[in-house]
Chains A and B, each alone.
Chain A
Amino acid sequence: MGSPATGDRILAHGIGGAKDLPIPLELAIAGAVAALVISFTVLAIAWRTPRYDAATSGRPAPEWLDRLTSSTPWRVWWRVFGMAALLYVGWAAVAGKDSLINPFLGVFYVYVWVAIVPLSVFFGPVWKAISPSRTINLLLARASGGDPSTGLYTYPARLGYWPAAVGLFAFVWLELVYPYSTQVGPVRLWCAAYLGIMLIGGALFGDRFFERADPFEVYSSLAAKLSIWGHRDGRLLVRSPLANLDSLVAAPGLVGVVSVLFGSTAFDSFKDSTPWVKFIQSTDLSVDLLDNLALLGFCVGVGLVLAAGTMATGVGEGVDRRTLPDVFAHSVVPIIVGYIVAHYLTYLVEYGQTTLTQLSDPMSRGDNLLGTADLTVNYWLSYHPTFLARLKVVAVVVGHVLGVIAAHDRAIRLLPAKHQLTGQLPLLFAMVGFTAGGLYLLFAA
């Protein structure tokens, strides 16, 4: 089931079969109107004194849970799981056939890239717990008698999240623009380069490097800020997702990370829209060049809109206007997660199941190593497009509302009293624009 007999042929776009139907126009409009109305409602009636404070928010998690999750066996188990998964999938990537049923592709594009988001929203920073680069760094440090958390140098604070933004762009470029993204060889090369850079960075800068520069860890840890799980003074906390989101510490480049995440997902919708397909197939210009420019344009465009939306406000003394895009970038995280749900849900559920069946046959020779080869894929979601369309719109609107509230709380904490309301307006318009634009793409693509 679901194993396409495509042999070694190159496909014009990503893996897999049918894509989601466009959402109905009425639903897109209803969602955009709801986002607009709710935004201004929040602005008009929400609290006027900041509510979220990372130093006091949340309550301690149950004692046993704290003890379990900070225990050595628990941590070691997830490190072993991550390494075992790397070795198993690495075996498929190196020794398996270059075909679309090689589970390496599904694990990379679905489990690592998409499933990481819901897993992190439910369970916290999961990539940090299983990250093979962290584990290898840890083992190397142990072997050489060093400390994995400190490297040879201090990670330059000025770099912030920019390396992760570049890494994330390298991923979305591979997935969405690179023409051979579904061939095992190039994807394997990408992964090898990623792992190599992570290990060198880890040796140079220690664990700080993974926190700031590992694209998957940064993505996972951002999504984890929408979970109910937090940490303070070594104690596991339970707090509301909004309070948790507020505890995200801004650093240079955070705005770059969220711009790449949102811009690339929007580009993924856009590139399937009829006007773009028709244009790109009838122009004499290079298709690769146009795709590259469009992806870059979407990411940079989102970044510029965010920068303008956050900086167009009066600021008090001692606040540098140029830091505002990074300081408000956290409020885009729920918008990204809502849009990711809308964009990738079917892909995650259906291609995720297909990948599970493929995992039993890493060499593509009919094995059933894990006992999952004969599972049949459940296509319920695809057969209920109306339900799916509503779910998408609700996810986008909920993400938008959480984002607006997060930005509001940050604005009343940071901006001087006379700019607190007017200062929020440009960002609010930017967010309504993102949400309406996202809904339009779900309708048009």
Chain B
Amino acid sequence: MTRTTPHARRRTSTLAVILVIGLGSLLAGCGEDAEPTDPATSSSATSSESSSESSSESTSETPSESESAAPAGQTIDITFDGDTVTPNGERVDATVGEPITLAVTADAPGEIHVHSTPEQELAYDAGTTELSLTIDQPGLVDVESHDLDMVIVQLEVR
């Protein structure tokens, strides 16, 4: 540091300028990315879309809000059979705050562990069980079978 020649100093400052420009453009180039929409806006957008879709066929036995929430959520079919489970570690996209239904078909009762924050545990019986699940915080959430020690799906919650 003490023996820096003017030549070396010029090289250093050129280098510094290039580094700053490089990193700056990295950040700026991605600046057009929209911040993730917050749960309120995204769910209302989806629900308005789906309510208009379902309004023609739906009956009036439930209030419109919960009626539109149901089709907005997605269903994941899970089948336990002996030592195996399907799906086997797939990625599934999910939305913050929207209910997810786990439609479980099992040959024996067991528990599903959801590694959300905070974590959730869901028990199912032999036969078919519908479990409901909502995740309030973005992240990658493992849905695991305790009994098999296996990852069923990984939810990419945005």
| B98 touches A (CB below 8 Å) | no
| Contact, CB under 8 Å: A274 / B23 | no
Q: Which of B88-102 contact A (CB under 8 A)?
A: 88-91
Knowing A21-B138, A390-B27, the reply to whether A12 touches B1 (Cβ < 8 A) is no
Looking at the complex, which one of A9, A51, A379 makes contact with B4 (CB distance below 8 Å)? Answer: A51
Nearest-CB distance from A17 to chain B (Å)?
A: 3
| B119 touches A (CB below 8 Å) | yes
Residues of B contacting A9 in the complex (Cβ-Cβ under 8 angstroms): 113, 146
Nearest-CB distance from B58 to chain A (Å)?
A: 33
Nearest-neighbor residue (CB-CB) of B155 within chain A: A18
Nearest-CB distance from A356 to chain B (Å)?
A: 16
Q: Which of A24-32, A81-89, A298-306, A363-371 interfaces with chain B?
A: A24-32
Nearest-neighbor residue (CB-CB) of A274 within chain B: B91
Residues of A contacting B137 in the complex (Cβ-Cβ under 8 angstroms): 18, 379, 382-383
A282 to B19, CA, bound (A): 46
A277 to B116, CA, bound (A): 18
| Contact, CB under 8 Å: A38 / B36 | no
Residues of A contacting B115 in the complex (Cβ-Cβ under 8 angstroms): 11, 16-19
| Contact, CB under 8 Å: B22 / A386 | no
Nearest-neighbor residue (CB-CB) of B8 within chain A: A47
Residues of B contacting A387 in the complex (Cβ-Cβ under 8 angstroms): 35
Nearest-CB distance from A285 to chain B (Å)?
A: 14
| Contact, CB under 8 Å: B35 / A386 | yes
Looking at the complex, which one of A6, A21, A24, A49 makes contact with B139 (CB distance below 8 Å)? Answer: A21
| Contact, CB under 8 Å: A31 / B26 | yes
| A385 touches B (CB below 8 Å) | yes
Residues of A contacting B11 in the complex (Cβ-Cβ under 8 angstroms): 45-47
Residues 3-14 of chain B: 1 if any A CB is under 8 Å from the residue's CB, otherwise 0?
111001001101
Residues 122-149 of chain A: 1 if any B CB is under 8 Å from the residue's CB, otherwise 0?
0000000000000000000000000000
Looking at the complex, which one of A18, A379, A397 makes contact with B23 (CB distance below 8 Å)? Answer: A397
| B133 touches A (CB below 8 Å) | no
| Contact, CB under 8 Å: B12 / A386 | no
Knowing A51-B8, A379-B137, the reply to whether A45 touches B15 (Cβ < 8 A) is yes
| Contact, CB under 8 Å: A17 / B1 | no
| B29 touches A (CB below 8 Å) | yes
Q: Which of A327-384 contact B (CB under 8 A)?
A: 350, 379, 382-384
A379 to B116, CA, bound (A): 13
| A97 touches B (CB below 8 Å) | no
Nearest-CB distance from B39 to chain A (Å)?
A: 9
| Contact, CB under 8 Å: A12 / B142 | yes
Residues of A contacting B113 in the complex (Cβ-Cβ under 8 angstroms): 6, 9, 11
| Contact, CB under 8 Å: A383 / B119 | no
| B30 touches A (CB below 8 Å) | yes
| Contact, CB under 8 Å: A274 / B90 | yes
Residues of B contacting A52 in the complex (Cβ-Cβ under 8 angstroms): 1
A387 to B116, CA, bound (A): 20
Nearest-neighbor residue (CB-CB) of B25 within chain A: A34
Interface of B is mostly: mixed
Nearest-CB distance from A58 to chain B (Å)?
A: 7
| B156 touches A (CB below 8 Å) | yes
Nearest-neighbor residue (CB-CB) of B146 within chain A: A9
| A413 touches B (CB below 8 Å) | no
| Contact, CB under 8 Å: A49 / B8 | yes
| Contact, CB under 8 Å: B30 / A390 | yes
Residues of B contacting A431 in the complex (Cβ-Cβ under 8 angstroms): none
| A243 touches B (CB below 8 Å) | yes
A340 to B29, CA, bound (A): 24
| A150 touches B (CB below 8 Å) | no
| A398 touches B (CB below 8 Å) | yes
Residues of A contacting B139 in the complex (Cβ-Cβ under 8 angstroms): 17-21, 382, 385
| A417 touches B (CB below 8 Å) | no
| Contact, CB under 8 Å: A2 / B117 | yes
| Contact, CB under 8 Å: A274 / B89 | yes
Residues of B contacting A277 in the complex (Cβ-Cβ under 8 angstroms): 89, 151, 154
Residues of B contacting A390 in the complex (Cβ-Cβ under 8 angstroms): 27, 30
Q: Which of A1-57 contact B (CB under 8 A)?
A: 1-6, 9-13, 16-22, 24, 26-27, 30-31, 34, 37-38, 41-42, 45-47, 49, 51-52, 56-57
Nearest-CB distance from A388 to chain B (Å)?
A: 9
| Contact, CB under 8 Å: B88 / A34 | no
| B18 touches A (CB below 8 Å) | yes
Nearest-neighbor residue (CB-CB) of B31 within chain A: A390
Residue of B12, B119, B137, B157 with highest tally of chain A CB at under 10 A: B119
Residue of A12, A34, A46 with highest tally of chain B CB at under 10 A: A12
| B57 touches A (CB below 8 Å) | no
A202 to B157, CA, bound (A): 49
Q: Which of A378-419 contact B (CB under 8 A)?
A: 379, 382-387, 390, 393-394, 397-398, 401
Using A6-B119, A41-B18 as known contacts, list a sample of 8 further A-B pairs with CB atoms less than 8 Å apart, ordered by residue number in A: A11-B144, A12-B144, A34-B26, A37-B22, A49-B5, A239-B1, A278-B90, A382-B139
Interface residues of B (CB under 8 A from A): 1-5, 8, 11-12, 14-15, 18-19, 22-23, 25-27, 29-30, 33-36, 88-91, 113, 115-119, 121, 135, 137-142, 144, 146, 149-151, 154, 156-158
